[in-house]
Chain A
């Protein structure tokens, strides 16, 4: 297959994000408006929102989470952009990443010059069992779900395969959670914004204040090993191995390369993008690597003309701690294991 490239350049000139958390009383559209308004303020030289030509909105399951289908036109309407074409992209956890890619493709095709890309999810209205059911619909309802698998369960199964193959332990996964909670403190919009140490110290202080037995965790790992502090969701994935049930939205503005400097003197050019699909977990040749991620990474690297060694920073998908470990290997930052 010949090397894929964009027909013309695409640049990112604005980005906004809502606060992430659990927000009873707020709907998806409220969070998207929040992200959209912030995005407008980040465009150095400003924009007339009416110049936006199309929207690509990533959303996994407003249908089940909020009982709201046909979500993209509502986002267009609430941001004052109706009747522009508004398309929802559903690709499970990758929905918004694929929406970004569709926005890139739409501009590269020459059809549009200014495109709004959104990512939206409002998960917290449902009770946990129904959130579990909703997430599980991203797997094969005929042949995987009858086995009792949940979405955390799939990654947990990859985790046991990984432990078996490479000698990892549940503690190996805990260190990813500790690191990512540290990173979360650097972002004021993060859902928790607290280190595991701070969460642990908070529980100790609370026990002391209430006169309860004070836990004797020596460090974060001991805290994370405690079934009461960190209950098992799907072994070896525990609560702090799993991304929380979250509400939030993000908005990006993409423009064609030719007009990018009308919006900012420092546009971020998109130099590579990749996408692939994969089969049910039981049909994969290996259970400790995700082929779609490897192929998508290769495509993006080839398009950009770079190698993993050139990458200085990455945000890998970490729905579960094991997911980030596998992603960083599939993207070529670390050897397997």
Chain B
């Protein structure tokens, strides 16, 4: 019986504390981000939390003009587009996040492969993972 220690709720609390946490399977020595309660390779449930590196590089991105309701409520939309992307961390794991530090009016200048650093955005709706382009 799982004790439900690896959950999105806990992951979210850790984001609010400024930590990006994955789950780790000691049997396979593999980490999973987003964190999973069961190892998809060995089906083991003895997963442990492990803190992730905060640096990586941009693997893919988009600049969203037609936004979902949650982002409109956060102040984004047609007149204030934002960048979302996929970041590959230094250890090879990838995660979706908002991308900051880019000129969204010139998406053709945003470079895949750019170095990024994690930041933890605090909004009314909670903590959100983002990465800032730092080069």
Tell me the A residues contacting B by CB distance below 8 Å: 128-130, 132-133, 136, 140, 142-150, 152-154, 156-161, 164, 170, 231-237, 280-283, 287
Contact = CB atoms under 8 A, between A and B. Distances in A.
Interface string B63-104: 111111111100010100110111000000011111000000
18 contacts: A129-B72, A132-B66, A142-B8, A145-B70, A147-B97, A147-B128, A148-B64, A154-B62, A160-B60, A160-B110, A161-B59, A231-B78, A235-B62, A236-B62, A237-B62, A282-B86, A287-B59, A287-B60
A143 B8 contact: yes
A157 B86 contact: yes
Given A148-B71, A164-B60, A170-B108, 16 more contacts: A129-B72, A130-B69, A132-B68, A140-B34, A147-B96, A148-B64, A149-B84, A153-B64, A153-B84, A157-B84, A160-B61, A164-B113, A233-B66, A281-B60, A287-B59, A287-B86
Interface string B37-76: 0000000000000000000000111111111111110001
Nearest to A287: B60
Contacts of B129: 146-147
A234 B8 contact: no
Given A282-B95, A287-B59, A129 B65 contact: no
Contact of A234 (B59, B65, B113): B65
A143 B67 contact: no
B86 A148 contact: no
Contacts of A149: 62, 64, 84, 96
Contact of B96 (A130, A144, A233): A144
B96 A236 contact: no
Interface in B91-135: 94-98, 107-108, 110, 112-113, 128-129
Nearest to A281: B86
A156 B81 CA distance: 14
Nearest to A131: B66
A157 B65 CA distance: 14
A154 B97 CA distance: 12
A232 B66 CA distance: 8
A147 B68 CA distance: 11
A133 B96 contact: no
B60 to A, nearest CB: 4
B66 A148 contact: no
A150 B84 CA distance: 9
A336 B56 CA distance: 26
Contact of A148 (B34, B67, B110): B67
A160 B98 CA distance: 15
B94 A282 contact: yes
B86 A234 contact: no
A232 B59 contact: no
Q: Which residue, of A133, A148, A149, has the highest number of chain B Cβ atoms within 10 A?
A: A148
Nearest to A236: B107
A158 B61 CA distance: 8
Contacts of A145: 68, 70
A316 B78 CA distance: 30
B63 A234 contact: yes
A21 to B, nearest CB: 20
B13 to A, nearest CB: 14
A170 B95 CA distance: 25
